[in-house]
Amino acid sequence: MPAEQTRLQTFVHQSPLGDWQVSLWRCDPRLAGIVSTLWYGEGSVSYQRDRILPSGQSQLLINLGPTQYRIEPGPPERHVPFRDIWYAGLHQGPIDTEAPQGNALLGVAFSALGAYPWLGERLEGLSDRIIALADALGDGALQLRERLLNTADFASRFCIVERWLLARLSPRSIVHPAVRWAVDRIAASNGRIPIATLARETGFTRKHIGQLFLRQVGMSAKALARVHRFRGAMDLLGRSDKVPWAELADHCGYYDQSHLINEFRAFSGYAPGELLRKPRPDAGSVVVC
């Protein structure tokens, strides 16, 4: 077996929700801490619309198949076509999408620290936004997509993207050690560590840490902690049929059950019980209709 093939894992899904396959690529160690997942998915779904939930990661998305649509809420509701290559920053709210003709997507999921050294620019203003990557990087992004369209082999496609990512890493855009430490602490605590504690333990003021986070992560430490707290609660929900809501709120660091419900509505559009009843194509999304 070629060495490249040992870095590739493919999973096939067949259910009433649809038929698709997802391939995952084990990244070059030089991308550790930058890229969380390098993936490719193709297939079709039986439902009309899904909702991608906040994850604490940003995404580079390359469309190699039929046009897909991002739904902007209204009124009036807008279907924004997604045909080529886009970057989705860290989000604090859900993203609704539709793929009426099926999909073929190659994606790079960046860690909360990964976009800064890759984009090589300040990240203020990129959270809660989805931008055409050519607008930020020029025609080189579209040329990358053309190369991928002309390459049929999965492993070769991943190698092309990996080399492109490595070539873009900027030594001038190194994440500040205090930010790296704080992001790791937020993740390890599932967002429960107080921001005042983070600032005190780094030796910086909350204002200075806040400025560093906005520039190098794209959202505040408090916002990132909220996302991790939500994801932690989601993980616990997925492991239990019966959920004592007050206990869940306390375990995940919410003030009370009302706080839990309000946060779930902000991040998913649903109360926890509603969200629990929704079909889940994967750990990061739910079926809307």
Q: Kindly report the pTM of this predicted structure.
A: 0.91
Name the residue ranges covered by the structural domains of the chain: 3-168, 177-287
Q: What residues of the chain score a pLDDT lower than 50? A: 1
> What pairs with residue 208 in β-bridges?
none
CA–CA separation, 97 and 212 (whole Å): 32
Q: Reply yes or no on domain 3-168 having CATH 1.20.120.160.
A: no
Q: What is the pLDDT of residue 1?
A: 46
Q: What is the pLDDT of residue 240?
A: 66
Q: What is the pLDDT of residue 114?
A: 92
**What is the CATH code of the structural domain delimited by 177-287?**
1.10.10.60
**179, 195 contact by CB (below 8 A):** no
Helix ranges (H only) for 54-108 are none
